Amino acid sequence: MNKDMKVSEILDQLCFTKTFKQKSITKVNTEKSTEIIEKREILGLFYTIENDIYVGIDNSSGDAWTEDFKSLASCKRWLLK
């Protein structure tokens, strides 16, 4: 790990690495996140960043549940619950 990384970045990386094998989380841009929420056709777990807020999108069942978070780690924990 890079010694210049912030603690939150290290925790984000560890959280993602530990659970990556179980579920995949995809970062998407704002346009793609809007499409996922509106059409609900692309199934999976996603997140985007809007105005320094992480928006988690759980569309694994086609219901497009969303939640806002202050950190990437908390967003990923919610998506992987």
One digit per residue, pLDDT tens: the chain, 81 residues?
Answer: 455 556 766 666 555 544 444 579 999 999 999 999 999 999 999 999 999 999 999 999 999 999 999 999 999 999 998
pTM: 0.74
- pLDDT given at position 81: 86
Euclidean distance between the first and final Cα of the chain, in Å? 26
The model's pLDDT over 58-74, given as tens digits with 9 standing for 90+, comes to 999 999 999 999 999 99
Alpha-carbon distance of 29 to 46, in angstroms, equals 10
Is there a contact between 54 and 12 (Cβ–Cβ < 8 Å)?
A: no
- Structural domain spans, the chain: 7-79
Give how far Cα 15 sits from Cα of 9, 30, 32, 76, Å. Answer: 10, 23, 24, 7
- pLDDT given at position 65: 98
Is there a contact between 48 and 30 (Cβ–Cβ < 8 Å)?
A: yes
